[in-house]
Amino acid sequence: MTSVLAVEVDVYSQIALFQCSRCNWSQELLHLKVLRRLEQHASRASVTHAWCSDQVRVVLAERVASQQELARERTMIEEVRAGADEDDLVEVPTLEWLDEQIRWRARRVGPAKCLECGSTRITPEQNRPGDPSPTIEHPGCGGSLRAIGLRYAPGEATAVVIDANGHLLD
Ligand SMILES: [Zn+2]
Ligand SMILES: [Zn+2]
């Protein structure tokens, strides 16, 4: 199953270690909690690992799913929720959250942005057939960048808030 929720809600305060399959490049990336300010409140935003061409590194970036993807996701989640106990649904998005995402997506202007610098020159990680985890092509190298581990970083937990079109708010 391909979920629009590339990074789940409680992974912030973890640091991912990325390595290249071909060269000796490696990088750590702090997972931030990303909230999007909507009409009444701030709501968790879907994010993904991506290559930022402006910063030349792996970053967290917005995940702006298409309206069709969100509609498919809602149908799938509705079925999952109908057939499961409440205890098993802690990590499953609520239909209220998905409906809010669908309303937001209909008004969204512009492509997904890097959550560090605001660049739209980003390449999200991708799931390739037969590969258990997503990768990002290492530009100029041809290798694949992959998160090979996660460690907890208590005390480093931090959040960023963005507006509906992905601009960072103070
Ligand atoms: Zn490389
Ligand atoms: Zn960037």
Residues 49 and 101 in one domain: no
Note the pLDDT of residue 122. Answer: 97
Note the pLDDT of residue 74. Answer: 95
Residues 94 and 12 in one domain: no
Burial level of 87, CB count in 10 A (0-12/13-18/19+)? exposed
Residues 156 and 92 in one domain: no
CA of 140 to the centre of ligand 1 (A): 8
Q: Which ligand is nearest to the CA of 55?
A: 2
Note the pLDDT of residue 7. Answer: 43
Contact 114, 58 (CB under 8 A): no
Note the pLDDT of residue 6. Answer: 41
Contact 139, 131 (CB under 8 A): no
Domain count, the chain: 2
Burial level of 45, CB count in 10 A (0-12/13-18/19+)? buried
**pTM of the predicted model as reported, rounded to 2 decimal places:** 0.85
CA of 99 to the centre of ligand 1 (A): 40
Token readout for 90 is: 């802690």
Low-confidence ranges of the chain (pLDDT < 70): 1-12, 155-157
Note the pLDDT of residue 4. Answer: 46
| Segments forming the whole domain that contains residue 99 | 66-107
